Amino acid sequence: MSPATQRIGNTFKTFALLAALTGLLLVFGQVVGGSNGLIIFAAIAVIFNFAAYWFSGPMALKMSRAQPVSEQEAPELHEMIATLSARAGIPKPGVYMTPAEQPNAFATGRNPKHAAVAVTSGIMQALPRRELEGVIAHELAHIKNRDILIASVAAMVAGAISAIVNVLQFQMLFGGGDDDDSPLGFIGTIAAMILAPLAAVVIQMAISRQREYVADATGAEILGDPNPLADALVRLHRGTEVVPMQVNQAAAPLYIVNPLGSFGRKMSGLFSTHPPMEERVGRLRAMAAYSHRA
């Protein structure tokens, strides 16, 4: 898939996600409050669509408690990101760090001019320089491929759906499910509470696992060697087991490896936005072997 085709596909997916959320909010508004709820949730949908585009990146950083770090605080990290960004042909993104001890990283933003790379404090101690370069190259690949927006929007959408479930629970607690204006009443509210988390899973699945494969390959090209990234993935994969991390499940797909550890891997297959680690590493090793033969 060419970079241009990749960008067009990601743009389509982003608008599809926003359209799906709009429809979901309208349906839930009808279930919760009938015609009045429909009007209220229609207004919420308009506001959310605007906010999802402009603020999904900052929200992703806030969800992970990431803070900007200056060149004085992390000179080697800044130098690494600047060098690899130049190789990738993109502007240097903002540099952030989260307090998490688990070694991990993610990229977010709405486009290459408004992007950020966030690393955990744990990754700075866990990886040697060359492997850390592989991870940074992978995250810069997400920015270069313009798929950071769809991931950030999806995380925000999933978070919104969780909030909707809380609203429905509050509605039931105070007897709102018996509202005569609601066409489905109590049964509809119960159904919405069950279906909302499933809808969140579907939205997370909308982030194709191919996104990670493409970022691995592009990152290897940026670095000029697939092996450091492959080695880093193996080390990070083990790190999720040794060092657990409390992370909003909606934001988990943003990270280079699933931060939820064994729980996340139990959700592998159709319900995982992260490809199997063995497959990712295998593809990178195959790239290295092909380059060596060439």
Check 71, 131, 133, 139 and give the catalytic one.
139
Write out the two tokens for 227: 């092996």
**Within its chain, how far is the Cα of 19 from the centroid?**
18
Active site residue 139: yes
Tokens of 246: 């409390």
Q: Show which residues are catalytic.
A: 139
